[in-house]
Structure 1
């Protein structure tokens, strides 16, 4: 499973790249607008931080299929080949996915709430489909079950499309989709920071250090070698 960070904040990306196994960055128009910066400068700085090998998922803002395709082409031309063009699964979006895939441009189909939306996007050629786990939960459905259904359908019909689960409220949701074999998760910085944390881990470390100091004081192992 790939861990992808859902943010356009450069300082957060720098921090996350230093400490965690970040394997991608996802953005959308809302995330970009929060930074209130020149779009080209922001994307260029993110690319400089993460390097060429880590993909960025950039969402279009057009609604017409031809305009979406043109926007996707412009995004890839400007920011390089390791870009996934994010396209919502509207009717125009599905058409645009078909156009861009015929031009060998990588696509992430987003704003997915049902397994059928994901399956149609996959048949249109999407490389990734992004179901919104917590938003589905908020509609009195079960987001994790939808992710599981999508995974099973893609496998049943021998489709190469992968699932990048999105929209998480808590760590348990991330763990649930991981247990289902999801290919990737894109997580907000707030949730991402909690994935590795546990109070008893911190307590264990404190006890280890306390016991060590009783015998060896402030010396660490390097000092003793």
Structure 2
């Protein structure tokens, strides 16, 4: 199970990687644009925070396979480390995936809205496929159902491609995606932190402290008794 942070906000990335067992960061043009900074410089700052081994998924913008391949090679030259090139599942994107896969480039197929799109991307060499859960739900489709279908198809045809479920608005969507076998999820910091919050956990901890202090006082811990 892999947890990735879906953001380009440096403060959130620093917090998440300090506190939690994160496996990487995903970005897209919209997320990068929100930061309004120099693109490569910013990605390199992310790399410096998370280290060389953690994954970074960075998306190309070209509309043709040639443009996508050129962008991918540029990103690989400038960023390095454990880098995945995000490519949309268009016809030109699939062509670019085939070429880059044959060249040994790690690929994440993005903007996936059907299981068949994911299957074709896997056949083209994608290492991850990223189905959009909430965006599917917003058009009266079944985002989590799509994730489950993709997991089942990849397993049925013995692909090593992993499912990176994306586009979440709440913890229930994350939970449901995990239940149907998603290998990885990418989510913002608020949603991740909400996944471990529970009022009974907080009240239990408060009660532990109160019971301890009633006997030993506030100045005593297990280390100075």
Q: TM-score range by the shorter chain?
A: over 0.9
1:33 corresponds in structure 2 to 33
TM-score between the two structures when normalised by the length of structure 2: 0.98
The aligned runs of 1:1-150 (5 Å cut-off) are 1-150=1-150
Structure 2: tracts of 5 or more residues without a match = none
Shift of 1:186: 0.3
Retained in 1: the 8 A contact 2:53–2:81? no
Q: How many angstroms does 1:178 deviate by?
A: 1.0
Unaligned runs of 5+ in 1: none
- Pairs aligned (count): 224
Runs of 4+ in 1 over 2 A off after TM superposition: none
Return the offset for 1:141: 1.2
Residue 81 of structure 1: how far off its partner (Å): 4.2
Paired residue for 1:223? Answer: 224
Q: Which stretch has the larger CA shift, 105-114 or 179-188?
A: 179-188
Please list the CA deviations of residues 63-106 of structure 1 after superposition, one character each: whole Å capped at 9, or x if unmatched: 11111011111111111141000001011111111111111100
Q: Give, in angstroms, the shift of residue 160 of structure 1.
A: 0.9
Residues 106-134 of structure 1 show CA distances to partners (whole Å, capped at 9, x for unaligned) of: 00000001001100100111000000001
Structure 2 CA distance for aligned equivalents of residues 210 and 4 of structure 1: 36
Asked whether the equivalents of residues 40 and 79 of structure 2 are also in contact (C-alpha less than 8 Å), the reply is: no
RMSD after superposition: 0.8
Give TM-score, length-normalised by structure 1.
0.98
